[in-house]
Structure 1
Amino acid sequence: EDGKGKWWEGLNPADLYGLPPGQRTPEYIESVKQNWVLRHTELVTKYDVDMLWFDGYGFPYKEYGKQVCQNFFNHKLQQNGTIDAVIAGKFSNEPSTVKDIERGGASEVLPYPWQGITTLRTWFYKEDTDRMEYKQNARTIIELLADYMSKNGNLLLNVELLADGTIPAEQKVMLDDIGAWVNLNSEAIYASKPWLIYGDNLNSYLKLADDGTDETDLAALQEQKKSAHFNERTAASPAYGHDEVRYVTNNKALYVIVLNPAKGDIVLPSLGLNSTQKPGKITSIKMIGGKDSIKFRQGQEQLILSVPGKRPNKYATVFKLEGVL
């Protein structure tokens, strides 16, 4: 009768935590691994998930984890005729997996797809969470997404949930802003690919001195380049310069994402006709969400693009360039 009518009816609550370490015999450990395989196989077959995400640097329980992933792929193949599924984790070099970077991103365009993972504040809601400051907001998440896309990456965003399953009100406002930006600029996001380089006027936030001189913090720059996990920019980071951009491509168009736009001309050296990227002659530039064509001058050494004062929103602005590719 113990547990009748409870959520754990028919189960053993002791299985939630297992035996004390001193009582874990080889036979017991083997049973835990087998149980893990059964539960996760049920997860991927019964609930038709699209992605498995492992918070670790390898497959859980090594070969047992690989067995679950094999079951996952086989189920998708049998169900859909294709393996439309993703296995992600902090893997270093595992075939058929997506490399995760926790609260950070790549410093260059990577030849393989990868994923940056972050959260707005903390990984889960708890009693004292309301006293914590937000590490991210709508602006910085949009900037991270643009940066990661330009380097062949994806962004996985964690959201805290209250006990009743609802999203905290202030986080819902952020998500609504992010969603509106993504919907507006969807043609530059979904199925987009990186260009030959990821951006122009790089590391502008390390160069902003009041007198206009170059004040680049070389030590900070080198640390950012060599690190991956936990190198992300946050709401406390210095703002990007008004001319720093990220590049992505889609459907034979090049998209220029101005991270911190302001009215005025910006100079993009990589889009000059003589640049090493060998861009084509631009035929038109349009601002996503705007109606009018954008003024520009493409010369041998640079592209001068005129950013209008009136833009669709207060976040990063996206321009569609025809003729470059």
Structure 2
Amino acid sequence: MKKRQSCFLFALAILLASCHSEVKENPEVYSEDWTSLAKHNEEPAWFQDAKFGIYFHWGVYSVPAFGDEWYPRHMHFKNRKEYQHHLETYGPLSDFGYHDFVPLFKAEQFNAREWAALFKQAGARFAGPVAEHHDGFSMWDSNLTPWNVGDKGPQKDIMRELKTALTAQDLKFMTTFHHARNLQRYADVPNEENYGNSHYPRFEGTAPAEDDHELNYLYGNIPEEQWLEEIWFGKLKEVIDNYQPDIIWFDSWLDQIPEQYRQKFCAYYLNEAQKLDKEVVIVRKQDDLPLNVSVDDLEKSRKNKLGKKVWMTDETISKGSWCYTENLQIKPAVDMIHVLIDIVSKNGVLLLNISPKADGTIPADQQEVLRAMGAWLDKYGEAIYETRPWHTYGEGPTIEPEGDFKNHREFLKIKYSADDLRYTTKGNTVYAMVLGVPDSEQPLLMKAFASQGADVNIKKVTVLGSKETVQWQLKEDGLFIEQGYPVMDTMAQVFKIEI
């Protein structure tokens, strides 16, 4: 009996040692170095399939509704229109600082279920808030700072309500972080250029310059080592632990965060996701994280060629501010659909920003655009969702400029026409999308099917949304769609080519 027990205990010890060895060597357990972190699948299939998400610049900066979401910074500079507006509307900065807007941010009309239903209707596959902008105010119930929606302003956990409502709509949950800029770091010279990497300037007589324990947490007036551990990393850890986001997206200035902290965040996020058996996505701008760990993001711009890896564009629904301001001009739905199609054809994902009011309502004109996008996607979404790039993204006279955000004004001028085609593919199907209303009295040539470009054997050509027969011919110079084909949409017509 004792011999059998000894054998059993010995075998158990070997088994436990083996399990321990497997865990230790498991490539899915990430350490704080880029080689280990690169084992993570930075572009999981669900993200490649999703194509379209929605987020929103909504916070204390929505209260003044003037200028843009950089109001907290610009209000301090005498050469800015925000400074003059603030002086005339609220009085001197010594009497009314940015922190005095916080009690006015009440979100009294906010309804997470209505927002989630709208995003679902718009055709989004993921959504979530700007968790914290440069201004230092947290849009979740935080234990790390007194400046959060649970303790001040709305006095409710906005992020919790959103996570619950979005999950109920079967949408992946996203949080975006812009707080790398919040730390006060600058040369001690009172002009705007010397505050380039700090959101708040420390001008005498203003709140960012006060040595006040509570105000310091809003204005980033904290020793750097403490701020890096407790604020930059601490807030990320708190959101990961309490809300388990599927995507974490970073704004610029991540290069101001020491590499060891960037690695520390990535390892923590990926290890926590592994515990939950979920694949998560890290999105970055600039070159702040390796692309074998993260997805590249292009602000208000996009690629003019097919991307080898999945990438993202963060674009806003307006022509101006990212947050709500009075008289905000909204782009038409047709332009947003064309941007989405162009991005997807080049292996990209669109993250569209909307701009709610401080009271928590989404303006009617923005809702109208989202519903129009959703109506198009409801009819023709099979050409977008779960697709992959074809051998070419498309053809036509409209070519996007080179560059990133520096050319965002040029991207704003782009208008596509029925002469521009974009392609996607899924299984044995190629989708050709015409970015406008084609003239069906004339044949339509799709040059990408030329014999030297695509070796295909076409079985059938149809127009999505129509049961009419489409006549076609495959010639050396491309696929000819003969005149008389049905025109089904005024925003973008979709041809389905089965091969």
TM-score tier after normalising by the smaller chain length: 0.7 to 0.9
Structure-1 residue corresponding to 2:301: 104
Q: Structure 1 stretches of 5 or more lacking a match?
A: 204-220
Could you say if the C-alpha distance between residues 317 and 307 of structure 1 is closer, same or farther in structure 2, counting changes exceeding 3 Å?
farther
Compare the two structures and name the one with the higher strand fraction.
1
Verify the 8 A CA contact 1:271 1:303 in the aligned structure 2: yes
Verify the 8 A CA contact 2:429 2:497 in the aligned structure 1: yes
Instruction: Please state if 1:7 is matched with 2:151.
Output: yes
User: Over residues 114-135 of structure 1, what are the superposed CA-to-partner deviations in whole Å (9 max), with x where a residue is unaligned?
Assistant: 1111101121113xx31x433x
Question: How is 1:68-107 mapped onto 2 (pairs within 5 angstroms)?
Answer: 68-80=265-277, 82=278, 84-92=279-287, 93-107=290-304
TM-score by length of 2: 0.53
Structure-2 residue corresponding to 1:18: 220
User: Over residues 229-271 of structure 1, what are the superposed CA-to-partner deviations in whole Å (9 max), with x where a residue is unaligned?
Assistant: 3546889736433232001111221000101122322111221
Structure with greater contact order relative to length (CA < 8 Å, sep ≥ 6): 2
Verify the 8 A CA contact 2:470 2:485 in the aligned structure 1: no
Question: How is 1:1-325 mapped onto 2 (pairs within 5 angstroms)?
Answer: 7-8=151-152, 12-19=214-221, 28-35=223-230, 36-56=232-252, 58=254, 61-62=257-258, 63-80=260-277, 82=278, 84-92=279-287, 93-121=290-318, 122-126=321-325, 129-130=326-327, 132-134=328-330, 136-203=331-398, 224-229=400-405, 231=407, 237=413, 239-264=415-440, 265-272=443-450, 274=451, 276-306=452-482, 311-323=487-499
Q: What's the CA shift for 1:281?
A: 2.3
Q: What's the CA shift for 1:226?
A: 2.6
Compare the two structures and name the one with the higher helix fraction.
2
Could you say if the C-alpha distance between residues 308 and 193 of structure 1 is closer, same or farther in structure 2, counting changes exceeding 3 Å?
farther
Number of aligned residue pairs: give it: 284
Could you say if the C-alpha distance between residues 58 and 202 of structure 1 is closer, same or farther in structure 2, counting changes exceeding 3 Å?
farther
Instruction: Describe the SS at the equivalent of 1:195.
Output: coil
For the residues of structure 1 that align with 2:349 and 2:305, how far apart are their CA atoms? Answer: 14
TM-score by length of 1: 0.79
Amino acid at match of 1:75: E
Verify the 8 A CA contact 2:300 2:411 in the aligned structure 1: no
Could you say if the C-alpha distance between residues 171 and 185 of structure 1 is closer, same or farther in structure 2, counting changes exceeding 3 Å?
same
For the residues of structure 2 that align with 1:125 and 1:307, how far apart are their CA atoms? Answer: 46
Larger radius of gyration: 2
Structure-1 residue corresponding to 2:46: none
CA RMSD of aligned residues (A): 2.6
Could you say if the C-alpha distance between residues 99 and 285 of structure 1 is closer, same or farther in structure 2, counting changes exceeding 3 Å?
same
Question: Percent identity of the aligned residues?
Answer: 26
Structure-1 residue corresponding to 2:122: none
Could you say if the C-alpha distance between residues 237 and 12 of structure 1 is closer, same or farther in structure 2, counting changes exceeding 3 Å?
closer
Could you say if the C-alpha distance between residues 76 and 293 of structure 1 is closer, same or farther in structure 2, counting changes exceeding 3 Å?
farther
Could you say if the C-alpha distance between residues 233 and 201 of structure 1 is closer, same or farther in structure 2, counting changes exceeding 3 Å?
farther
Q: What's the CA shift for 1:225?
A: 4.0
For the residues of structure 1 that align with 2:488 and 2:358, how far apart are their CA atoms? Answer: 36
For the residues of structure 2 that align with 1:189 and 1:48, how far apart are their CA atoms? Answer: 27
For the residues of structure 2 that align with 1:233 and 1:146, how far apart are their CA atoms? Answer: 20
Structure-1 residue corresponding to 2:180: none
Identify which range, 60-69 or 277-286, moves more after superposition. Answer: 60-69
Q: What's the CA shift for 1:101?
A: 0.5
For the residues of structure 1 that align with 2:255 and 2:412, how far apart are their CA atoms? Answer: 35
Verify the 8 A CA contact 1:37 1:68 in the aligned structure 2: yes
User: Over residues 271-321 of structure 1, what are the superposed CA-to-partner deviations in whole Å (9 max), with x where a residue is unaligned?
Assistant: 13x2x2233121111112222232222112221124767544321111110
